[in-house]
C-alpha cells in the first residue's frame, strides 16, 4: 500500500535539490533558493494528476481537513455529518473549527449510509463529509443529491483513498473541496503532509491564506503581506514536498501494482464460500490499498482474528471493530468529550450526544469485516503463501465451530 515501500533515486534527487540550496521553507528566500520551489511544483503536479483546478499543500491530512472546513465557512453551531468508521482526525478537525461532528452509520461499502445521512439532517446541518475509507469510495451520487436537495456542502475526506476514482473522476475532486493525507503509510507520501483540493477559486484563496497565518501572498515581499483574516501555521516544508513530488510522479505505477496484488489475494480468499467482500460503488475506480472481506458472524470473525494472531499472521490484517483509531466503539475520549481546553458546554453536550448514539447498524457491519493491506513489495509466491495461510486459518475455525455444534 504505502509509497515508502518503493523509495528510490527520484526521492533522493528531489530532496538533494532542496538540501543544496539550504532553503527548507516553502515561502520566501527567493534568491537563495535558486529557483527551487518543490511545494509549488507538487501543487501543480497534483492538479495535473488528479484533475483539480487548485491544490493547497499543508502539513498533514488533519491540517487539510481543518483548512478546508474553515475555507468553506464551517464553524460555531454548524453540524457536519460524517461516518462512524473513519480515522480520529476527521472528528478532530471538525471540533477544531468549533463545529459539531454528527456521526452516523456506515453500510457494507464501509462508507456513509445515505439513508442514515438523510435521517441525521437538521436545521444546523451545513456539510456532509464522506470518508473514502480503505482505498474505496462513498456513494457520491446519492450524497451529492442529498446535498443539492438540502443546500449542503460536500467535503470529501479522501485521505485514505488517493488514486481512487468515482465514475471517471478522482475522489477528492468531486465535492466543494477534498483532502488527501500524505503521511508515511499513504499510497503516496511526503512522510508528513496533506493537501486541499478544490475547483472553487474562493475556497482555494482562503485555504492558501488560512494555512499560512492569514498571509494574502499577493506581494513579492512576504513581510509586506496583508492579513485579510486570522490564519494558522499549517505549512508544509520544502523537504516534505520534495518527497511528495517524486511520489506523485509514480502514482500510476503504485496503483497498478496494488490492483494486481489485490486481485491475486482476492482470488485466493474467494475459494472460501463463507467469505464475502465489501461493496464497491465503482469497482473500476477502487485504488485497492486494502482487500476488505466479511465473515457471516461477529463470533466467527473474532475467532478468525484470534487464530491469525495465534499463527503470527495477523500483521497487515485489520479488525477495525476493536481498533482504537478508526471506529466509534473505541472512541471513549470522544464519547466523554475529553479535551485539554474547555469546550463550550453546548458543544460538549452535542459531542457526547452524537458519539453515544445507537450504532448497532454499523456494529453489524464492522464486527464482521477484516481488511488486509496490500503491499507493493509482494512477490507472487508471497501473495500465494499469505492468502493460503489466511484461508487455512478460516477453514480451521469453521471446522472447529462445526465440530462444536
Query: Which residues are part of the catalytic machinery?
Result: 186
Sequence-ordered strand ranges (E) for 284-343:
290-294, 317-318
Alpha helices in 270-344 (DSSP H): 298-310, 332-335
Alpha helices in 1-111 (DSSP H): 9-21, 38-50, 61-71, 88-96
Return the SS3 of 170: strand
Is residue 84 packed enough to be buried (19+ CB in 10 Å), middle (13-18) or exposed (0-12)?
buried
Alpha helices in 171-316 (DSSP H): 201-210, 238-248, 251-269, 298-310
**Cα of 209 vs its chain's centroid, Å:** 23
Distance CA 201, CA 269 (A): 46
Q: What are phi and psi of 237, to 5 degrees?
A: -95, 160
**Cα of 46 vs its chain's centroid, Å:** 16
Q: How many helices and strands in the chain, by DSSP H and E?
A: 14, 13
Q: Which residues contact 190 (CB under 8 A, 6 or more apart)?
A: 182, 183, 236, 240, 241, 243, 244, 247
Cell output for 99: 463545529
Distances (CA, A) of 271 to 268, 275, 371, 372: 6, 8, 17, 16
Q: How far apart are the first and last CA of the chain?
A: 40
Return the SS3 of 27: coil
Residue 46: half-sphere exposure toward Cβ, Cα within 13 Å: 33
Amino acid at each position: 500500500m504505502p509509497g515508502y515501500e518503493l523509495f528510490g533515486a527520484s526521492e533522493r534527487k528531489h530532496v538533494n535539490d532542496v538540501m543544496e540550496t539550504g532553503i527548507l521553507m516553502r515561502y520566501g528566500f527567493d534568491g537563495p533558493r535558486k529557483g527551487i520551489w518543490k511545494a509549488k511544483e507538487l501543487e501543480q503536479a497534483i492538479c495535473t494528476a488528479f484533475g483539480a483546478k487548485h491544490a493547497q499543500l499543508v502539513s498533514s491530512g488533519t491540517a487539510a481537513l481543518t483548512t478546508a472546513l474553515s475555507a468553506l465557512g464551517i464553524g460555531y453551531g454548524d453540524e457536519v455529518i460524517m461516518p462512524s468508521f473513519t480515522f480520529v482526525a476527521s472528528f478532530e478537525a471538525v471540533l477544531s473549527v468549533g463545529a459539531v461532528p454528527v456521526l452516523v452509520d456506515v453500510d457494507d461499502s464501509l462508507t456513509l449510509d445515505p439513508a442514515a445521512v438523510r435521517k441525521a439532517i437538521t436545521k444546523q446541518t451545513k456539510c456532509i463529509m464522506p470518508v473514502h475509507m480503505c482505498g474505496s469510495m462513498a456513494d457520491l451520487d446519492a450524497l451529492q443529491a442529498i446535498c443539492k436537495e438540502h443546500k449542503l456542502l460536500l467535503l470529501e475526506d479522501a485521505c485514505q483513498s488517493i488514486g481512487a476514482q468515482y465514475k471517471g473522476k478522482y475522489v477528492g475532486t468531486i465535492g466543494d473541496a477534498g483532502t488527501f493525507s500524505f503521511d508515511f503509510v499513504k499510497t503516496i507520501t511526503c512522510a508528513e503532509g496533506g493537501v486541499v483540493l478544490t475547483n472553487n477559486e474562493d475556497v482555494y484563496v482562503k485555504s492558501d491564506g488560512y494555512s499560512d497565518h492569514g498571509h494574502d501572498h499577493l506581494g513579492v515581499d512576504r513581510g509586506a503581506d496583508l492579513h485579510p483574516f486570522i490564519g494558522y501555521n499549517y505549512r508544509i516544508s520544502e523537504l516534505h514536498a520534495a518527497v511528495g513530488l517524486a511520489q506523485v510522479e509514480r502514482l500510476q505505477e503504485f496503483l497498478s501494482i496494488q490492483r494486481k496484488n489485490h486481485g491475486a489475494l482476492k482470488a485466493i480468499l474467494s475459494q472460501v464460500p463463507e467469505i464475502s467482500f465489501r461493496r464497491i460503488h465503482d469497482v473500476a475506480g477502487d485504488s485497492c490499498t486494502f482487500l476488505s472481506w466479511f465473515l457471516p458472524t461477529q463470533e466467527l470473525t473474532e475467532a478468525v482474528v484470534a487464530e491469525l494472531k495465534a499463527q503470527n499472521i495477523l500483521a497487515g490484517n485489520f479488525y477495525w471493530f476493536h481498533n482504537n483509531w478508526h471506529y466509534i466503539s473505541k472512541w471513549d475520549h470522544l464519547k466523554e468529550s475529553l479535551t485539554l481546553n474547555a469546550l463550550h458546554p453546548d458543544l460538549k453536550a452535542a459531542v457526547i450526544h452524537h458519539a453515544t448514539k445507537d450504532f448497532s447498524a454499523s456494529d453489524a457491519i464492522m464486527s464482521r469485516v477484516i481488511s488486509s493491506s496490500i503491499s507493493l513489495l509482494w512477490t507472487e509466491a508471497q501473495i500465494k503463501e499469505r492468502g493460503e495461510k489466511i484461508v487455512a486459518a478460516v477453514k480451521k475455525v469453521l471446522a472447529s465451530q462445526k465440530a462444536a455444534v
